[in-house]
Amino acid sequence: MFNTKNKSSNSFKLISDFKPKGDQPKAIESLTRGLTDNLKHQVLLGVTGSGKTFTIANVIANTNKPALVIAHNKTLAAQLYGEFKAFFPDNAVEYFVSFYDYYQPEAYLPSSDTYIEKDSMINEDIDRLRHSATRAVLERNDTIIVASVSCIYGIGSPEDYLGMHLIIEEGMHTERDAFLRKLVDMLYERNEDFRRGTFRVRGDIVEIFPSFSGEKAVRVEFFGDDIDGVYEFDSLTGKVLKRLSKFALYPNSHWITPRSRMEKALPLINSELKERIDFFLNRDMHLEAQRIEQKTRFDLEMLKEFGFCHGIENYSRHLSGRASGEPPFCLIDYFPDDFLLIVDESHATIPQIGGMYQGDRSRKQTLIDYGFRLPSALDNRPLNFSEFEQRVHQAIYISATPSEYEIKISENRIVEQIVRPTGLTDPLTDIRPVKGQLDDLLGEIRERADKGERVLVTTLTKKMAEDITEYYKDLRLKARYLHSDIDTIERIEILRDLRLGEFDVLIGINLLREGLDLPEVSLVAILDADKEGFLRSARSLIQTSGRAARNVNGKVIFYADKITGSMQTAIDESNRRREIQLEYNSKNRITPKSIIKNITNILSSIYEADYWTVPAVAEEKAEYRDEAGIKQLEDEMKQAADKLDFEKAAALRDRIKAIRNKMLEVGIKK
């Protein structure tokens, strides 16, 4: 962890028209007391719609600790960012996710001798927000950063990032040329095309566009070797907004290395290169030896001349002075020791954190084995799970169905938040025999279709989902299926069409994706509910059943010939929650009403992974455009990402990649 001096000590100020109610006051008091008593791990078991974010906002305000909130995808992170921003308008609420609009990591496929160069499009606004986040947590105590799991990836040393920052003060004595050299060392580019990360010089005036700023830039006026004035101005109009006594400018990249360390790192990289060349030559791997020498020598020249190169992160072990195997610096290292960690949807987020390390390592090992990277590239990686755990000071895990890990690590310190302010209860569960399940379900679907309601059906295999869909279509039911083979764009269309009533029943395998929020669904049918396994565990059954909890007529049917332990656990838990809600409704004279949501909210169901592999478009749906058409799609993608609408941006990105792939297949040149 990184502790800085002279950090502002503002308090969190929660702004809301709402007062805690239902289970919220008790949950807020219990979690706050736990943190005050130095409990390291706590669980907030909160059902969907119970106001968990508001509860956590109150806990943060009560404890006044800087907080890192981790969500398991960009979509949920964006939603949480908006909510916390509204609750704390006077405090630093920041957003930190992967800055790639699309990202194809560097890889090598030995089977086809295919080298895939890293291909990415950096979203400038997201990069700005990342810089704004690190700046805030280094300068202010009242900081909340909402992040995706990408926050456990290396971003460079906080000590170097802070050590290379520049305090610009009115009256400061400095030669103008030395000042300009410092800007270059901080990786700012001199350019008349004035944009974020650049500076320009006009006589005795130097104008700088900070890495963390969106519209405001800084003007520094020199008089001889003294700074005569520092001003904040509108970068578009040039209008001066205010005069500053001093200004803290941070580097234009988190991968910043002091010149003294760079001079030490280059010989180390060169030494490792020689060892690797010898390794390959001793094994008669001449092609691999040539590859690694050519690539690394080019990078060394770039680092020597400019202090930067494409893929600089692969040399981060040497550049940061770390030993082999030592964990990388990541966003968590920018926080002070006593920060508060909030893990949203922990049953999904924790496994994702745990899985990042192995996936990254296996891909890099192939690059190393075939001479595309030095072995030290393995140290440019995400934290492994034990390293992540070591960095946790105090944590609250939020989930409607916490996993064994959270329950165990919290020593069963579980705070419940069952009551929904809307009055909606968990749906009733009915158990029916497997024999004739499709015909029985047919009547249930038609009954709900006549009322304008929708149905979700879960199966155990993709083929079952497809076959049942065809069976119902033959009976003139409007049915569709949804599973992992369906790409992002079509997934959006299917879920939107379900809400719009284009069809009545959606059949799939795992309809548990977080954010799959469908208020029109009044029935969830689980086929073969007695087949024990991952998709029929108590946790999965509870989550799947919860998809009917947004509708006042919500109901769940388990088709099973026996009641398994998982089924009984799920039913008992649902009944327990239902009784708690009904008692609250009775005491407070609340009449439950179905949730009404704008159709656009269906987009929240799209899982926007930080690292996405784009499939080729299906032949019958191939789309061909010229470069102008693709440019238009890219502009739309950037606009969507700027608005933090990552679902739309992801869909457009997938379409662009698919079109380009198809253009290559049919021989259309760019």
Domain ranges of the chain: 29-156+315-417, 166-249, 428-588, 614-665
Specify the pLDDT at position 346: 94
Least confident span in 26-35, 189-198, 312-321, 360-369: 360-369
Neighbours of 438 (CB within 10 A): 16
- The crossing angle, in degrees rounded to 10, of helices 538-545 and 565-588 is 40
Specify the pLDDT at position 514: 42
Question: In the structure encoding, which two tokens stand for residue 107, read together?
Answer: 């890889």
CA pair distance 334, 134, nearest whole angstrom: 7
- The crossing angle, in degrees rounded to 10, of helices 52-63 and 24-36 is 40
Q: Domain 428-588 carries which CATH code?
A: 3.40.50.300
pLDDT band at 615 (very low <50, low <70, confident <90, very high): very low
Specify the pLDDT at position 642: 66
Does the pLDDT at position 246 exceed 70?
A: yes
pLDDT band at 550 (very low <50, low <70, confident <90, very high): confident
Specify the pLDDT at position 44: 98
Does the pLDDT at position 370 exceed 70?
A: yes
One-letter identity of residue 283: R
Instruction: Give 411-460 pLDDT, tens digit per residue.
Output: 989 999 999 888 999 999 999 999 999 999 999 999 999 999 999 999 98
Q: Which of 465, 467, 457, 550 is nearest to 505 (CA)?
A: 457
Q: Given this chain, do its domains 29-156+315-417 and 428-588 carry the same CATH topology?
A: yes
pLDDT band at 617 (very low <50, low <70, confident <90, very high): very low
- What CATH fold (topology level) applies to the domain 166-249? Penicillin-binding protein 1b fold (3.30.2060)
Neighbours of 421 (CB within 10 A): 17
Specify the pLDDT at position 34: 97
* CB distance 51 to 417 below 8 Å: yes
One-letter identity of residue 637: M
Please compute the mean of the pLDDT values over residues 76-86 and round it to a whole number.
87
Interstrand relation of 505-508 and 555-559 (parallel, antiparallel or unpaired): unpaired
For residue 398, CA distances in Å to 46, 383, 545 come to 7, 21, 19
* CB distance 395 to 70 below 8 Å: no
For residue 427, CA distances in Å to 410, 434, 594 come to 29, 21, 12
Q: Domain 29-156+315-417 carries which CATH code?
A: 3.40.50.300
CA pair distance 572, 580, nearest whole angstrom: 12
**Mean confidence (pLDDT) of the chain:** 86
Specify the pLDDT at position 627: 64
CA pair distance 344, 331, nearest whole angstrom: 17
Please compute the mean of the pLDDT values over residues 91-120 and round it to a whole number.
66
77 vs 477, residue with greater confidence: 477
Instruction: Give 496-540 pLDDT, tens digit per residue.
Output: 888 889 999 999 887 655 445 688 999 999 999 998 877 788 888
List Cβ<8 Å contacts ≥24 apart for 227-236: 227/168, 227/169, 227/170, 227/171, 227/172, 227/173, 227/174, 228/170, 229/170, 230/168, 230/169, 230/170, 233/207, 235/194, 235/209
For residue 201, CA distances in Å to 183, 215, 565 come to 12, 19, 73
Q: Using only C-alpha atoms, what is the Rg of the chain?
A: 28
Specify the pLDDT at position 305: 86
pLDDT band at 2 (very low <50, low <70, confident <90, very high): low
If you ran DSSP here, which 8-state letter would residue 45 be given? Answer: E
